[in-house]
Structure 1
Amino acid sequence: MPLFWRIFALNAAVLVAATVVLLLGPVTVSTPVVLTEALVLAVGLALMLVANAALLRVGLAPLRRLSRAMSTIDLLQPAPRPLVTGHSGIADLIRAFNTMLDRLEAERATSTARALSAQEGERRRVAQELHDEVGQTLTAVLLQLEQAARRAPEPVRAELRQVQETTRGSLDEIRRIARRLRPGVLEELGLNAALKALITEVTGHTDLTVTHRLGPDLPPLDAETELVLYRVAQEGLTNAVRHARASAVEVSLQRRGQDVELRVTDDGRGAAGAAEGAGIRGMRERALLIGAQLSVDRSATGGTEIRLRAPIRQEGPAT
């Protein structure tokens, strides 16, 4: 029965019941109205309203649950679908809402995959240009400065040496940026080696103390899962350096049954109650691509703990 007719039937049943009581019962209405008759009618009206409200509350309860789900749903944080309850129109509405969510999540995953793939491609291109173009140019400048310093008189030679050191520092910084844009060690040596190189790089350029616990029984993973794990660890360390004001961070990668779990825990000021920035939302989008679960909570030390639990997906055979 459609929702309109169900509500109409409920109200009609209450009114018919009230009419039958008035016709068959001893209740009458005098002119002017007697106090006892007014009391009886008031009680009857109150009972009708209470019965009507109770019936409507029960009948429309699935709509309230659906409304709460619609107001709190977040496509970046998958949640259980609303249960398909109620009759006819209400059940159809909840079923249509769940279908819409499935379609939106699938379309978002597809568009996000394309965007992140394009982003990684652009990062590779920029890293390659930094390494090949800017890096080689600065290397040539260093050689020219070396030759000029050899022929220059002593006061000028000292200044040229200083320019050499500045140029060499710029070259190292460009190479470091290129490595962050395109983690070649990840493709060549695997996830464990890439995480260790990332930690070494962070500790070499900051005062942050980073420890790691990488499980010895980690299974081989497909390239997409490894890249997501690496990027989440990279973003977690970047947040610890730039925003958390942390002094120590622990990076852990362990096997948990049929999943692998990455945890990045710092002792900084924590992120409880703070709005999620682009970095965390980017991590959530990457997690959705591989069917992983991402959580950002307060750590035991009062800082932030980023936890990513990803299903083990091994690289398929070459075709």
Structure 2
Amino acid sequence: MSLFWRIFGLNAVVLGAATALLLWAPVTVSVPVVLTEAVVLIGGLVVMLVANAALLRIGLAPLDRLTQQMTTVDLLRQGHRLPVAGHGEVAQLLRTFNEMLDRLETERATSTARVLSAQEAERRRIAQELHDEVGQSMTAVLLELKRAADRAPDTLRADLQHAQETTRQSLDEVRRLARRLRPGVLDDLGLVSALTALTTDYATHTGLAVHRRCAPDLPALGPETELVLYRVAQEALTNAARHADARNVELTLRHSRTEVVLDVCDDGRGLGHAWEGAGIRGMRERALLIDAGLDIGAGPTGGARVRLTVPLPRDAA
């Protein structure tokens, strides 16, 4: 029975009972009203109000849950659905809302996949241009400075050597940026080698003590899965270096028969009540691409922990 007919039926029953009492029962209203008549009228009113309040509370409770879900829904945290019971219009509304969430999550995952694919392609192009165009040009400048320094008089040689050293440092920085944009070692040598190079680079340039433990016998993973694992580790290390005031970071990559787990823990100040920024939401979007679970919270000894759990396909398991 729909909510309308339940409320209407209850009111009809109460009003019908009151009318029947007035027509056939020896119930009258005196003028002025005596105490017993006032008690009967007020009691009937209270019963009707309580019955209506109880029915409305029960009937509108699913709508309250729907309102709360609509204000807190996050398409990056999939799987939250409202329970549906019955066949009335409220149940149909909840069922329609759940179906709408299914469509929105599917469309969000599809559009996110296209955006991230275009982003990786653009990163690859920029990294290639930095390596081929800018890197080669700076290498040529470095050689020219060396030749000029060899032929220059003593008064200018120190300045040219200083310019040569500055150019060499800039060339190293360009190459490092190119590796961050698109890790060639990931394509050539695999995930473990790429994570080794990544942690070494962060330890060298940020001063963090990065402790790395990677299982050597990882199962075969697809290129997209390896890229997601690498990007999540990269973003977690970046957050630890920039925002956590951490001194030590531990990166662990392990696997079981059914899943591969990446853990990045730091000893910084933790998340607290910090709002999720673009970096964390980017990690969640990447995790959705491969149906992985991402858990970001407090570490076992303080600080923050980022855990990415990647389920293995049945044939790989």
- With normalisation by structure 2, the TM-score equals 0.95
Map 1:1-319; keep pairs closer than 5 Å.
1-313=1-313
Name the CA shift for 1:296/1:249 in 2 (closer, same or farther; >3 Å): same
Gapped regions of structure 2 (runs ≥ 5): none
- Structure 1 contact 229–262 (Cα < 8 Å) conserved: yes
| Deviation at residue 71 of structure 1 after TM alignment | 1.8
- Structure 1 contact 82–94 (Cα < 8 Å) conserved: yes
| Deviation at residue 15 of structure 1 after TM alignment | 2.5
- With normalisation by structure 1, the TM-score equals 0.94
Aligned length: 316
Name the CA shift for 1:260/1:26 in 2 (closer, same or farther; >3 Å): farther
Name the CA shift for 1:87/1:30 in 2 (closer, same or farther; >3 Å): farther
What residue identity is the alignment partner of 1:153?
P
| Deviation at residue 56 of structure 1 after TM alignment | 1.9
| Deviation at residue 314 of structure 1 after TM alignment | 8.5
Q: Residues 94-118 of structure 1: CA distance to partner in whole angstroms, max 9, x if unpaired?
A: 1111111110011111110000000
- Structure 1 contact 221–315 (Cα < 8 Å) conserved: no
CA distance in 2: counterparts of 1:130 and 1:314, whole angstroms? 40
- Structure 2 contact 7–52 (Cα < 8 Å) conserved: no
- Structure 1 contact 131–178 (Cα < 8 Å) conserved: yes
Name the CA shift for 1:294/1:32 in 2 (closer, same or farther; >3 Å): same
CA distance in 2: counterparts of 1:24 and 1:58, whole angstroms? 34
- Structure 2 contact 199–210 (Cα < 8 Å) conserved: yes
Secondary structure at 1:230 match in 2? helix
Secondary structure at 1:281 match in 2? helix
- Structure 2 contact 11–48 (Cα < 8 Å) conserved: no
What residue identity is the alignment partner of 2:163?
V
Name the CA shift for 1:192/1:310 in 2 (closer, same or farther; >3 Å): same
What residue identity is the alignment partner of 2:180?
R
Secondary structure at 1:12 match in 2? helix
What residue identity is the alignment partner of 1:20?
A
Name the CA shift for 1:25/1:209 in 2 (closer, same or farther; >3 Å): farther
| Deviation at residue 21 of structure 1 after TM alignment | 4.3
- Structure 1 contact 208–249 (Cα < 8 Å) conserved: yes
Gapped regions of structure 1 (runs ≥ 5): none
- Structure 2 contact 82–94 (Cα < 8 Å) conserved: yes
Secondary structure at 1:302 match in 2? coil
CA distance in 1: counterparts of 2:306 and 2:75, whole angstroms? 19
Q: Residues 66-107 of structure 1: CA distance to partner in whole angstroms, max 9, x if unpaired?
A: 222222211011133111124321111111111111100111
CA distance in 2: counterparts of 1:305 and 1:28, whole angstroms? 75
CA distance in 2: counterparts of 1:14 and 1:87, whole angstroms? 26
CA distance in 1: counterparts of 2:264 and 2:140, whole angstroms? 40
CA distance in 2: counterparts of 1:273 and 1:172, whole angstroms? 38
What CA RMSD, in Å, does the superposition of the two structures yield over aligned residues? 1.8
Q: Percent identity?
A: 65
Q: Residues 13-33 of structure 1: CA distance to partner in whole angstroms, max 9, x if unpaired?
A: 232233334445554311111
- Structure 2 contact 265–299 (Cα < 8 Å) conserved: yes
Name the CA shift for 1:28/1:111 in 2 (closer, same or farther; >3 Å): same
